[in-house]
Amino acid sequence: MGFSDARYDVNLSILFTELPLLERPAAAAAAGFTAVELWWPWVDAPVPEQAELDALRTALNEAGTQLVGLNFYAGQLPGPDRGALSIPGEESEKFRANIDVAADFAQSLGCTALNALYGNRVDGVSPEEQDALALENLQLAARAAHRVGATLLIEALNAPESPKCPIVSAPKAIEIVDKVNESTGLGNAKFLMDLYHLSMNGEDLHEAIDRYTAKTGHVQIADNPGRSYPGTGELDFTDLLDRLGKAGYDGWIGLEYKPTGPSASSFEWLPAPLRAAKH
């Protein structure tokens, strides 16, 4: 896999947000994409009304877009919440209530990647207590993902933008991946390698790719600085995607960047024939 033969999908929770949620799949299809991913769309409803789930499923199917990645409930993204599963009390309870709802929704659309975001550190609770809660919830999520034939993704964010998040490096995320796999015996936890976040952390992207691709289940990209589309910053995505391919990665490349104008105009860097899943 290299730049010209990668499989690209669009994150509809950061792109096409100028449109209502149910109009975004058709807009992505009109831009030439056949695959999309989503953060949990209902930030205040870990268990939304069935009609809302059905409406989103219909919008995705009618647009001809395949859902290839979905976050479990994680609060408001992007924003100060940035995860829920390690936060005692209401947020953790919301995460648990969402687990089977998200897994079943993913299964109904053939989606096989579910991302579970750690929560921020909170006052009055020890890191050890939060980490123990996180492992319990990740075990539940891994079992639900296994039930529907999906991978559980664990992502590293970046310290400048998420200073209270404890998972802000590739090695730390890999440590959590290994703990989940060891404790469940399922082996379905994988690393979500977001090259923007790793770059913001100052990590060596070549080293991260070489060391962790074998444990990677999904890749997301945005340029740095600015978190916009490739070519607006300093990252060499031709080099990085070629390196991923040589390291054995052949999965999806999620476009998780902020457009600088209308979303439909932010794909000029990617030739139209490369936007569809089959090319």
Query: What are the residue numbers of the active site?
Result: 155, 256
User: What is the token pair recorded at 70?
Assistant: 């979905």
Would you say 191 and 177 are in contact if contact means Cβ atoms under 8 Å apart? yes
Query: DSSP 3-state assignment of 8?
Result: strand
Would you say 276 and 248 are in contact if contact means Cβ atoms under 8 Å apart? no
Residues 42, 44: Cα–Cα separation, whole Å: 6
- Closest by CA position to 77, among listed 17, 7, 8: 17
Residues 117, 253: Cα–Cα separation, whole Å: 19
User: What is the token pair recorded at 258?
Assistant: 């902020």
Would you say 252 and 68 are in contact if contact means Cβ atoms under 8 Å apart? yes
- Closest by CA position to 233, among listed 208, 273, 184, 269: 269
Residues 182, 200: Cα–Cα separation, whole Å: 29
